[in-house]
Amino acid sequence: METLLPGLTSATVTTFLLVLARTGSWVVTAPVLSAKGVAGISRISLAVALSLFLTPLVQAGGVPQDLPGFAATALAQVAIGVALGFLTGLLFAAFEVAGTLADLASGFSYASIVDPLSGQPAAAFSRLFAMAFSAVLFATGAYQTVLTGFTGSFRALPLGHLPHLSEGAGAALGHAATQVVASGIQVAAPMLGVLFLTDVALSLGSRFVPSANAMATALPVKTLVALTVAGATLALLPGHAAGLLGPATSLPYEVLR
């Protein structure tokens, strides 16, 4: 083991680089941190800071010392980090699904603009729910659970370990996709129910008053109802986020071994 500086050995530098490879790729794909609105220098700073903190805690046994083996291990760490970030954020996509359903039901999907977080076209409630989830994640301290889940990956998937899919990976991903849709419907259910009743009321009104301009009346009424119910829906977001937090942090370890 070669000593480069007092207290700094070549093994420590090797471990730091491998930890940085996993941490950097995780930061790029993790929920909220992967948003286009987050500056690149912020991601780099966070990745380096986490790597400096984690390096003394990581066991580097089994890491190849030759260049080809080290390069293969580094690529494996990048793959692990990308998979961890993507799988952790998969279930949190339920809030975007809920926002999309709310936009379709309220008619707000006609006015789509670019979402500053994802960089993709999105309507009003899709952006509102995504940004509200970001606020809830940090305001409730849920981000600490996400970080704890990531740091635990170095015990479940050590640096010298080449990951592979578990036997139940397909079932776990299928269940996660189903849970995303089901959770999205559950989050948006209050708005969908009230907007459905509003549509029924407007339909009955146009039936009894044929001379009224139904299209001119429906849009402002549905807009007022949607904005009113949106406040109550946002108040329920912390509970829904807490319910998804556990499955989101455990999903990567159900897929990877």
pLDDT in tens, 150-173: 999 988 888 877 788 888 888 999
Would you state the pLDDT for residue 60?
A: 65
pLDDT class of 241 with cuts at 50, 70, 90: confident
Q: What is the mean pLDDT of residues 214-236?
A: 81
Would you state the pLDDT for residue 227?
A: 84
Would you state the pLDDT for residue 178?
A: 92
Instruction: Specify whether the CB–CB gap between 96 and 130 falls below 8 A.
Output: yes
**Mean pLDDT score across all residues of the chain:** 83
List the single range of 56-65, 77-86, 224-233 with lowest mean pLDDT: 56-65
pLDDT class of 53 with cuts at 50, 70, 90: very high
pLDDT class of 86 with cuts at 50, 70, 90: very high
Residue 63, pLDDT > 80, answer no
Per cent of the chain over pLDDT 90 is: 24
The tens digit of pLDDT for each residue in 108-139 reads 766 555 455 555 565 678 778 888 888 888 88
Measuring CA to CA, how many Å separate 168 from each of 12, 51, 111, 122, 254? 35, 31, 41, 34, 7
Would you state the pLDDT for residue 214?
A: 65
Here the tokens at position 140 are: 């409730």
Pairwise pLDDT comparison (230 vs 116), residue with the higher score:
230
DSSP states of the chain as a string?
Answer: --EEETTEEHHHHHHHHHHHHHHHHHHHHSTTTTSTTS-HHHHHHHHHHHHHHHGGG---TT---SHHHHHHHHHHHHHHHHHHHHHHHHGGGHHHHHHHHHHHHHTGGGS-EE-TTTSSEE-HHHHHHHHHHHHHHHHTTHHHHHHHHHHTHHHHS-TTPPP-B-TTHHHHHHHHHHHHHHHHHHHHHHHHHHHHHHHHHHHHHHHH-TTS-HHHHHHHHHHHHHHHHHHHHHHTHHHHHHHHHHHHHHHHHHHB-
Pairwise CA distance, residues 24 & 112, whole Å? 32
**What is the signed CA dihedral for 247, 252, 256, 257, rounded to 10 degrees?**
-70
Instruction: Specify whether the CB–CB gap between 20 and 159 falls below 8 A.
Output: no
Instruction: Specify whether the CB–CB gap between 10 and 1 falls below 8 A.
Output: yes
Residue 80, pLDDT > 80, answer yes
pTM of the model: 0.82
Domain count, the chain: 1
User: What is the domain extent for residue 205?
Assistant: 3-255
Residue 1, pLDDT > 60, answer no
